Amino acid sequence: MRSVTPDSNVYISALLWDGKAERLLEMGLERKVRLFVSDPILEETLGVLEEKFGLSPAKLQRAKDYIQRCAVRCAPKIKLNVVKDDADDNKILECAVHSRSEAIITNDGDLLRMKSFRGIKIMKVHEFLRDGPERGR
């Protein structure tokens, strides 16, 4: 089973709109792919949903519960300072390294420009889905 770390922007997209990001989370729920999330990624996701999109406390709780059903929580023990233009992106790399993810799934330009980090591919959702979730490492 492929293991990936979605960025908070992928979780947000999946929760708010129909599309490829939503399909990725469904695949995590169906255990067709292993998704990883850390507390900092979850906190950022919920913060954006509340502040930018005005989700109510009840909707935020449902979003948190759904992400926790779709993804495996991990607690990275490393701190990275790799993404200089947006230090918040380092939490995505930390989660991916700690979980030994094959890929980071993101729409973030700073991360996408890296293309890979420590052997972890950095790609958009449609690229991951095109490659196929069943393909091995």
32: domain CATH number is 3.40.50.1010
Contact 104, 123 (CB under 8 A): yes
- Tell me, yes or no, whether 38 lies in a domain: yes
Is pLDDT of 135 > 80?
no
The CA angle 64-23-106, to the nearest 5 degrees, is 75
Coil, strand or helix at 105: strand
The model carries a pTM of: 0.92
Q: What is the pLDDT of residue 132?
A: 72
Q: What one-letter code names the amino acid at 49?
A: L
The span from the CA of 128 to the CA of 20, in Å, is 10
- Tell me, yes or no, whether 136 lies in a domain: no
Q: What is the pLDDT of residue 137?
A: 42
Q: What is the pLDDT of residue 136?
A: 46
Tens of pLDDT along 16-61? 999 999 999 999 999 999 999 999 999 999 999 999 999 999 999 9
Q: Which domain holds residue 28?
A: 3-131
The span from the CA of 108 to the CA of 30, in Å, is 26
Contact 48, 59 (CB under 8 A): no
**Domains in the chain: how many in total?**
1
The span from the CA of 36 to the CA of 126, in Å, is 18
For 29-81, strand residue ranges (E) read 34-38, 71-74
